[in-house]
A and B are shown apart, each in its own frame.
Chain A
Amino acid sequence: DTGVSQDPRHKITKRGQNVTFRCDPISEHNRLYWYRQTLGQGPEFLTYFQNEAQLEKSRLLSDRFSAERPKGSFSTLEIQRTEQGDSAMYLCASSPPLGPASEAFFGQGTRLTVV
């Protein structure tokens, strides 16, 4: 499978615990994005990497959230001290070097449930 891969697909955690999600982009893609989607809403932008550099972060990304892309390949998204409001689908996407408008390829997401 050469698409965007996310792991795990589902995560149930207790409030206050830390969780980490992984995203493996399409291999030639140097741009990687994280989005969050809550029920009945469109995805909301969280952060964006070009290679290993994190170029933009949304205000939605509180201090409890951290994303890394250490070697410009896979990325991790960590949520510390999870809260019930963090329950959502976390989507990763990647795209090739920028053209007039790059197509972002999305993974199937990690569904987080905080209980």
Chain B
Amino acid sequence: AQSVTQLDSHVSVSEGTPVLLRCNYSSSYSPSLFWYVQHPNKGLQLLLKYTSAATLVKGINGFEAEFKKSETSFHLTKPSAHMSDAAEYFCVVTKGPGKLIFGQGTTLQVKP
């Protein structure tokens, strides 16, 4: 069965320092994986997606994620946090053509 586990419910970083949001997945076949971001009072927005092409995926706003099959991980990183990055982040795996399975979410706090 497909599932994702976000290892941290809350991450706090200082502005300008690196961001690491951790996600492990479980899938019975080669998965498609996504990271979505949710800002307060805004809709979910796709940050990036992995679909079995390059294992290092670049997304919007300087985010990237690396698919590591041996570790069943898909961690999200950014070299330098900005205040506007403060939001809820969801790691997502697909289950068939019509269903996204969301992790529990990680709240990213960025301190000045």
A residues near B (Cβ < 8 Å) are 3-4, 31, 33, 35, 40-45, 48, 50, 55-56, 91, 93, 98, 100-109
Query: In the complex, what residues of A have CB within 8 A of residue B94's CB?
Result: 101
Whether the pair B98, A101 counts as a contact (CB closer than 8 A) is no
Q: Which of A4, A33, A45, A100 contacts B43 (CB 8 A)?
A: A4
Query: In the complex, what residues of A have CB within 8 A of residue B90's CB?
Result: 42-43
Cα distance A44–B92 in the bound complex, in angstroms: 11
Extra 17 A-B pairs, beta carbons < 8 Å, given A35-B100, A43-B100? A33-B100, A41-B104, A41-B105, A43-B90, A44-B102, A45-B101, A55-B98, A56-B98, A91-B44, A93-B44, A100-B32, A104-B100, A106-B36, A106-B43, A107-B43, A108-B41, A109-B43
Query: In the complex, what residues of B have CB within 8 A of residue A105's CB?
Result: 46
Whether the pair B44, A43 counts as a contact (CB closer than 8 A) is yes
Interface residues on B, range: 20 to 34
Which chain B residue shows the least CB distance to A6? B43
Number of A-B contacts (CB under 8 A): 60
Residues of chain B in range 34-53 having any CB-CB distance to chain A below 8 Å? 34, 36, 41-46, 49, 51-52
Which chain A residue shows the least CB distance to B4? A42
**Can you list 21 contacts pairing A with B, beta carbon distance less than 8 Å?**
A3-B43, A40-B105, A43-B90, A43-B102, A45-B100, A45-B101, A48-B98, A56-B98, A91-B43, A93-B44, A98-B97, A100-B51, A101-B32, A102-B97, A103-B49, A104-B100, A106-B44, A106-B45, A108-B42, A108-B43, A109-B43
Nearest CB on B from A37, distance (A): 8
Q: Which of B46, B97, B99, B104 contacts A45 (CB 8 A)?
A: B99
Nearest CB on A from B108, distance (A): 15
